[in-house]
Structure 1
Amino acid sequence: MAVGDRRFPRRVYGSGSEPDVRFSLANERTYLAWIRTSLALLAAGVALAAFPLPIEPGFRTAASFVLVALGVLAPVQAWLGWMRVERALRAGRALPAPVLGGPLAVGVLVAGALMLVGLLVG
């Protein structure tokens, strides 16, 4: 059994050839950055709901919900992005764009707008 056959996920490691280790490690750092982003979004959503802020409660709850939902989506982006980039590296193809990068950016914009409006109304 080759080394690649023992690693998970086989969909990634079972094809192509080993890329330069620097590129794989950079891909792993990007994965971990998405995980840190997820933790920050979750913490922001919980903090927004937990602390009494001068934001109208309905807007605060909505913004909190959006941030927590984004915090749940970010690890999905991390995993899918890591797999897609690693497969592209192994196949010598161009690197793909993030799958959920756009929706996550729009969600943060929506959460910020909800907080801003909630401040003005409250």
Structure 2
Amino acid sequence: MTHPDGEPLEAELDYRFTLANERTFLAWMRTSLGLLAGGVAVHTLVQPFRAAGFRRALALSCIVLAVIVAIGAYGHWRRVGVAMRQGKPLPNTIMVPILSAGIAVVSVLAAVAVLLR
């Protein structure tokens, strides 16, 4: 259905769908907070590695990934909510490949730093 001006009407959703979308958002936010805590912990608690800059690179990669995940989670939550209300298919997310690649980069940095220690 559409408004007279051609805009699609937004239907009222079953609360379970809204809550499921919110739970997914909160899971992304927990992941982001974990990455942020990991970055701060690496910067604060890990002694400097023999190779200069590895500790900072590892901490910053965790923190930057945390910011990307937090912003992406909000955008995805909004897009899913709009799609559900308009009766459209749910949008895909680029967050899964970004998070996978980011964690792979963090893991490689950590492995190299440990090997060079």
Taking structure 1 as the reference length, the TM-score comes to 0.80
Question: Separation in 1 of the partners of 2:33 and 2:91?
Answer: 24
Which residue matches 2:101?
106
How far apart are 1:74 and its partner, in Å?
A: 1.5
| Alignment coverage as a number of residue pairs | 109
Is the partner of 1:28 in helix, strand or coil?
helix
Question: 2:14 matched to which residue of 1?
Answer: 20
- Using the alignment, how far apart are the partners of 1:105 and 1:81 within structure 2? 17
Note if contact 1:67-1:111 (Cα within 8 Å) is conserved in structure 2. yes
Considering fraction of residues, name the structure with more helix. 1
Among candidates 52, 64, 67, match of residue 69 of structure 1: 64
Aligned-residue CA RMSD (Å): 1.8
Name the amino acid aligned to 2:21: N
Q: Deviations over 1:16-38 (max 9, x none)?
A: 20121101100011111111111
- Opposite residue 97 of structure 1, the aligned amino acid is N
Q: Is the 8 A contact 1:81 1:99 kept in 2?
A: no
Is there any run of 5+ residues in structure 1 with no aligned partner, and where?
1-13
* Runs of 5+ consecutive residues of structure 2 not aligned to the other structure: 1-7
Alpha-carbon separation, structure 2, partners of 1:104 and 1:35: 12
Deviation of 1:55 after TM superposition, in Å, equals: 4.3
1:47 aligns with 2:5: no
